[in-house]
Amino acid sequence: MKRNVPVLGAVATLLVLGRAAPAQVSFPSIARGYATWLVRAMDPCDPATLSVVSPTNLPLGGCAQANTATDDALGETFAILRVTELGKIALVGTGFTFADTLRVRLVIRVTRSGIDTSVGSNQNVTFMDRSIECPRAPETFSVRPNGLVAGSTDLGACLAPDMDLNRGNLQILDASLIDTANGRVMAVPGVLRVGMSAPRHR
Amino acid sequence: MHRGWTASGLVAVTALIAMGTLVSAASAVVEFPRKASYYRIWFVRAMDECTAANAVDVRGPFPNLPATGCLQANTETDDAVPMGFARLLITHTGKIAILGGGFPFGVRLGLALTLRVTRRVAEVRHPAGSNKRVTFEDVTIQCGNTPFGFRPSPAGRLAGVTTLSACLGSSLSDLAVGNIEVVNASLINLDTGKVFATAGVVPVRG
């Protein structure tokens, strides 16, 4: 009976170690990025300040549209943002005013493999969330005389001096278009659905 | 006569100034863009946030990385569902399509969307008004036929189609119209309730 004690101890240790070892989740084999149109950014409504009567299939409360925390200075007819697997950030849009200047703000969480750390080598490491603006200051996306903005920049350059964060499993937690004149968010990913009537149910 | 003209002129000027103020106040409400056709993303794996409390020193081999980071963890996020790839498309017609591969057969997947909708509303009260632009509180909805969600095929492929209005349900279906900000989009393992994928990119040179 006493002979079995070390064996049981070893089994228990293995079980504990097996449980403690984190299950290493692998990255997806492919994720080609982000391609989205941008809608206007509005101030959040929290809490609701008015009652909605009609139409009926809506929350009972809401807020009058406000753009105090968000930008109210720039116009926008449309804008498209792309973040590609080649590490490019591209912006195209119209309806802006000549000489307006814009940047793309991204909040990212990067996990890289094959990193040597103080607790071991060849580890998967998740870095602290980063908020970056592209292109990197003092550069901007500038609006042309015809109201068009079209440009691209490199993700690695925006991340400087931590350029090597532009590899691995790159989560885009937030993306927005910034009016550099006031630093406010003017547009965010989304869709515009026109019409007052409720869409058909499937 | 002159005095009367001056008084009426003052009233008129005051009225004009007031109107001007009202007009400028009204114009502060920004217009929607004319077009925003789709929201299209690829998903990457969701990882736990790295905080200073969990940080370890980074020693290499890449020179241009932060000095600290955290060992990849999937405690708050899901570690059960493997994933080859996944994509999401939301169109301006309100259609939602999910496509993916490399999933185990039998898992139940959900799509969580956080939306901030601003739209014209026919009638409001407190204060009363009509045809007003209203922003609603952010709403988080889950797409996929609850309780089964989106189900991969035996080959591990995922292909699901639904609509914004179906995800919103009949009581909120009119939120599927207007300036629809997609604040967040993520894939959820319905068996654990944890997020396993969020928008992102895996750069090809990684």
Residues B171 and B195 in one domain: yes
The verdict on residue B204 lying in a domain is no
Cα–Cα distance, B141 to A188 (Å, whole number)? 19
Q: What is the pTM of this model?
A: 0.84
The verdict on residue B63 lying in a domain is no
Q: Considering only A42-46, A109-113, B13-17, B155-159, which range has the smallest mean pLDDT? A: B13-17
Residues B190 and B109 in one domain: yes
Domain that holds residue B14: 1-30
The verdict on residue B121 lying in a domain is yes
pLDDT in tens, A51-86: 998 888 999 999 999 999 999 998 899 999 999 999
pLDDT in tens, A17-29: 333 445 578 999 9
Residues B147 and B183 in one domain: yes
Looking at residue A150, what is its pLDDT?
95
The verdict on residue B110 lying in a domain is yes
Looking at residue A197, what is its pLDDT?
44
Q: How far is B16 from chain A (nearest CA, A)?
A: 24
Please say if the pLDDT value at position A195 is more than 80.
no
Residues B40 and B11 in one domain: no
Residues B24 and B39 in one domain: no
Residues B37 and B137 in one domain: yes
Residues B87 and B5 in one domain: no
Instruction: Give yes or no for A1 touching B (CB within 8 A).
Output: no
Sequence-distant contacts of B191-194: CB under 8 A, at least 24 apart: B191/B80, B191/B107, B191/B108, B192/B78, B192/B80, B194/B76, B194/B77, B194/B78
Residue numbers of B between 102 and 161 with CB closer than 8 Å to A: 102, 116, 118, 120-127, 132-139
Cα–Cα distance, B192 to B37 (Å, whole number)? 33
Chain A residues with CB under 8 Å of B199 CB are 34, 171-172
The verdict on residue B123 lying in a domain is yes
The verdict on residue B62 lying in a domain is no
Cα–Cα distance, B79 to B107 (Å, whole number)? 13
Chain B residues with CB under 8 Å of A191 CB are 36-39, 90-92, 180, 182
Looking at residue B131, what is its pLDDT?
86
Instruction: Give yes or no for A85 touching B (CB within 8 A).
Output: yes
pLDDT in tens, B154-194: 999 999 999 999 999 999 999 999 999 999 999 999 999 99
Which comes out higher in pLDDT, residue A132 or A200?
A: A132
Looking at residue B5, what is its pLDDT?
44
Q: Among positive and negative, which fits the CA dihedral B76, B81, B85, B86?
A: negative
Dihedral, B198, B200, B203, B206 alpha carbons, nearest 10: -40
The verdict on residue B58 lying in a domain is no
* Burial classification of residue B161, based on how many CB atoms lie within 10 Å of its CB (0-12 exposed, 13-18 middle, 19 or more buried): middle
Position B28 confidence tier, pLDDT thresholds 50, 70, 90? low
Chain B residues with CB under 8 Å of A112 CB are 62, 65, 206
Q: What is the largest CA-CA distance in chain B?
A: 93
Q: How far is CA B67 from the centre of its chain?
A: 32
Q: How far is B116 from chain A (nearest CA, A)?
A: 8
Looking at residue B147, what is its pLDDT?
74
Mark yes or no for CB contact B65/A43 under 8 Å.
no
Looking at residue B60, what is its pLDDT?
80
Share of chain B above pLDDT 70, in %: 84
- Number of domains forming the structure of chain B: 2
The verdict on residue B178 lying in a domain is yes
